[in-house]
Amino acid sequence: MVQTAEKKEKRRVYPFTGIIGQEEMKLALILNVIDPKIGGVMIMGDRGTGKSTTIRALVDILPEIDVVPDDPFNSSPTNPELMSESIRELFDKGESLPAGKKQVPMIDLPLGATEDRVCGTIDIEKALTEGVKSFEPGLLAKANRGLLYVDEVNLLDDHLVDVLLDSAASGWNTVEREGISIKHPAQFVLVGSGNPEEGELRPQLLDRFGMHAEIRTIADPKLRVEIVQQRIDFDSNPEECLKKYEEKQQELRDKILKAKELLPETTVSHDLRVKISQVCSELNVDGLRGDIVVNRAARAAAAYSGKKEVSVDDIGQVICLCLRHRLRKDPLESIDSGDKVKKVFEEVF
């Protein structure tokens, strides 16, 4: 009974394909689903521009992954890199692991979450009395191989930010309590949203996001009326609205699956790679993360368009998203960071 209620609840999310405008944000989210190694997306924008709605709507179009049933860490039955320690032990012994399908998980991280809730807790009493490691998995375990969404990420406690940074960088979460240590895979796509008026994000955290989308309020009155009407229709009759978009939703799911299959065959020519690095160099981007992310995102964009070879257009689509948040802030600069990236891209390409 609970399961059916959950399924119904899931289906009532506003359809992703029904969201008007905000193409940059939608593209960034889709590319991260196609290639999670892009490293997540940070969405900053005005209040009430549909940031949370769009991210939560993503749940409905996420593909399925192979998992070991009833494993709290979403372990893969075939890839040792994506297995928890207990499953890996069974795998190394040569035991055959059961396999099942599960939708890519999307976990909400509440602002008031404690460190124990995020990382998980070790039952010290059980460890001392029975001599067994008993671990209660946290949100990072649930988010393994999925998406971790933090709304108002710029208001998150600093110590939680450190925990997320550490796990996002290493792909592992380690919990240490009273001399007992437990480690599990925590490979997730970090998706954050926030309003710049409520404070800036720490540069270390900002740099961890592969992409950065900036959202503006739609100014066109006709579009605004259309958006308001759609929202009213959805609130009054969600089932009808979802039926209307079911075909488009399925088309997008299929397109994402095809892109994921095509991705390993997609290549970036040497000349284009040199030009990407030239753009990063001229913009004085610190480190090489910018170059890597642009290459990855351009390949994902090409695969999404059904191509095996990356073109200049694919790079043009993603370069602002990948680099605008990596530029050094100059208080005297009058030009917007996104426009600055565009300008240098046009000069180099």
Q: Which amino acid is at 183?
A: K
Q: Which two tokens stand for residue 235?
A: 């609130």
Instruction: Verify whether residue 273 is a known catalytic residue.
Output: no
Catalytic option among 273, 289, 296, 326:
289
CA angle 199, 160, 25 (to 5 degrees): 55
Q: What is the Cα–Cα distance from 112 to 172, expressed in whole angstroms? A: 23
Task: Name residue, tokens 């924008």.
Answer: 45
Q: What is the Cα–Cα distance from 223 to 218, expressed in whole angstroms? A: 7
Q: Residues of 100-125 as b/e, b for ≥16 C-beta within 10 angstroms? A: eeeebbbbebeeebeeebbbbbbbee
Q: How far is CA 149 from CA 23, 164, 296, 328, 342, in A?
A: 19, 11, 21, 26, 28
Coil vs helix vs strand at 47: coil
Would you list the DSSP string of 69-93?
TT-TT---SS-GGG--HHHHHHHHT
Q: Which residues are catalytic?
A: 289
